[in-house]
Amino acid sequence: MTSSAPQDPPHADVQNGGAPGGPRVGLFVTCLVDLFRPSVGFASVKLMEDAGCTVEVPAAQTCCGQPAFNSGDRDDTRAIAASVIRAFEGFDYVVAPSGSCAGMLKKHYVELFEDDPAMKARAEAFSVRVFELVSFLTDVLGVSAVEARFDGTATYHDSCSGLRELGIQSQPRKLLATVDGLELTEMRDSDVCCGFGGTFCVKYPDISNKIVGEKTRTIADTGADLLLAGDLGCLMNMAGKLKREGATIEARHVAEVLAGITNQPAIGGGRR
C-alpha cells in the first residue's frame, strides 16, 4: 500500500493517540456487515492495518440506530447513540465500511442531543473522529494506491449518504484505479438512488422495485462483470434484484476488492 500525505489533510486537528504503529482505530462493523458479510469487516481491518493503524472492534456495538431514527423513534435512537458513543470513546478514529452508517454517526448523532449539553459535547467530540472507510484511507491517511488484483471490468454505484452527506465520490475510484487487472467503467446516473432506503424497500416494495429495476438496467448496460459500492444495504438490494433478473454480473463491497479479499462467493452468489 502506498501512502502520501494528502494535499490538504482534513481534520488535521484530530490527534493521533500515539499508539505504537499509528492511530488506534475503532471499527464500527455495521449490523449488515456483522450479520451478512463478515469478509467486508476483515477487508476493512486489513486495509487499515496495511496503512499502519491498530484496529480494534469494541464488542458493545450493534447498529448505528438508523432504523429507529428514520422511523421517528427518537428516544430509542438516542439510547443507541449514547451507547455507541460510550463504546468508541478513547479511539483516535471511528471507521465504518458504510457511508450510510458513518453519515448517521457523523452527521446525525449531534442533533439527537440538542437538549442535553453534556451529551451534545460528547457527540460532537465523537463525530469529528468518525469516517467512512475509503474516505478515511484516502482523505485522512493519505493512501493513494492499494496492492490488490482483480481481473475484470467493474462499475461503481455511489450510495446516497456517502455521496451527499460525506462527499465520497472520487476517493473509491482513485483507489480502484490502482487495482491490478481491474478496469472501471461508469454506469449512467451512478449518483441516483438504488431504491433501498432502509425500511423503505419493505414498506413500499412496489416503488422500491421500480427504482432498483432502473438501476439494474443501467448496471447491465455497462457490460461490466462486477458491481461495486460502499454500502452493503444498497449492494444487497441491487444484487438481489440482479439475481432475480438472472443477470450474471456479480456484486461486492468495494473494500473486498481493495483489500484483495475476493475468494469468498460474491453477494448473493453460491459456493462454486
Partner 1 sequence: MQITSPGFKQNARTALDDAPLQRALGNVRKGFIEKRAKAATALPEFDVLRDNARDIKDHVLAHLDLYLEAYAEKVEAAGGHVHWAETADDARRIILQICRDKNARTVTKGKSMITEEIGLNDFLEEHAVAPVETDLGEYIIQLRGEHPSHIIAPAVHVNKDQVEADFRRVHTHLDPARNLEEPTTLLSEARGVLREKYFEADVGITGANFLIAETGTSVIVTNEGNGDLTQNLPKTHVVVASIEKIVPTLDDVSQILRVLARSATGQDMSVYTTFSTGPKRDIDPDGPEDYHVVLLDNGRSSMLGTEFQDMLRCIRCGACMNHCPVYHAVGGHAYGWVYPGPMGAVLTPSLMGVDQSGHLPNASTFCGRCESVCPMRIPLPKMMRHWREREFSRNLTPATARYGLGAWVFFAKRPALYQAATRVAMAVLGRLGRGKGRFSAMPLAGGWTKYRDLPAPEGGTFQAQWAKRRHAA
- Nearest Cα neighbor of 109 from 123, 125, 89, 90 is 123
Helices 74-88 and 117-127: crossing angle, nearest 10°?
Answer: 60
Question: Considering only residues 161-220, where is the footprint of partner 1 by CB under 8 A?
Answer: 161, 164-165, 191-193, 195-212, 214
Q: Is 17 in the site for partner 1 (CB under 8 A)?
A: no
Return phi, psi of residue 74, to 5°. -70, -35
CB closer to partner 1, 142 vs 240: 240
Residues paired with 226 in a beta bridge: 154, 250
How far is the C-alpha of 268 from the C-alpha of 240, rounded, in Å?
A: 7
How far is the C-alpha of 182 from the C-alpha of 163, rounded, in Å?
A: 23
Question: Considering only residues 125-164, where is the footprint of partner 1 by CB under 8 A?
Answer: 160-161, 164
Q: Cell triple for residue 160?
A: 446516497
CB closer to partner 1, 12 vs 270: 270
- The residue within the footprint of partner 1, chosen from 17, 34, 167, 247 (CB under 8 A), is 34
CB closer to partner 1, 61 vs 135: 61
The CB density around residue 206, as the number of other CB atoms within 10 Å, is 6
Q: Is 41 in the site for partner 1 (CB under 8 A)?
A: yes
Question: Cβ 118 to partner 1, closest distance in Å?
Answer: 21
CB closer to partner 1, 12 vs 59: 59
User: 72-89: buried (b, 16+ CB within 10 Å) or exposed (e) per residue?
Assistant: eeeeebbebbbebbebbe
Q: Is 247 in the site for partner 1 (CB under 8 A)?
A: no
- The residue within the footprint of partner 1, chosen from 7, 72, 118, 263 (CB under 8 A), is 72
Map residues 220-239 to x or -, x wherever contact with partner 1 holds by CB under 8 A.
----------------xx-x
> By CB under 8 A, how many residues form the interface with partner 1?
71
Question: Cβ 233 to partner 1, closest distance in Å?
Answer: 11
Cα angle 186, 263, 255 (rounded to 5 degrees) comes to: 45
- Nearest Cα neighbor of 1 from 22, 20, 17 is 22
Q: Is 73 in the site for partner 1 (CB under 8 A)?
A: yes
Amino acid at residue number 205 = P
- The residue within the footprint of partner 1, chosen from 241, 253, 254, 258 (CB under 8 A), is 241
Question: Cβ 178 to partner 1, closest distance in Å?
Answer: 26
DSSP H or E segment with residue 234: helix 232-244
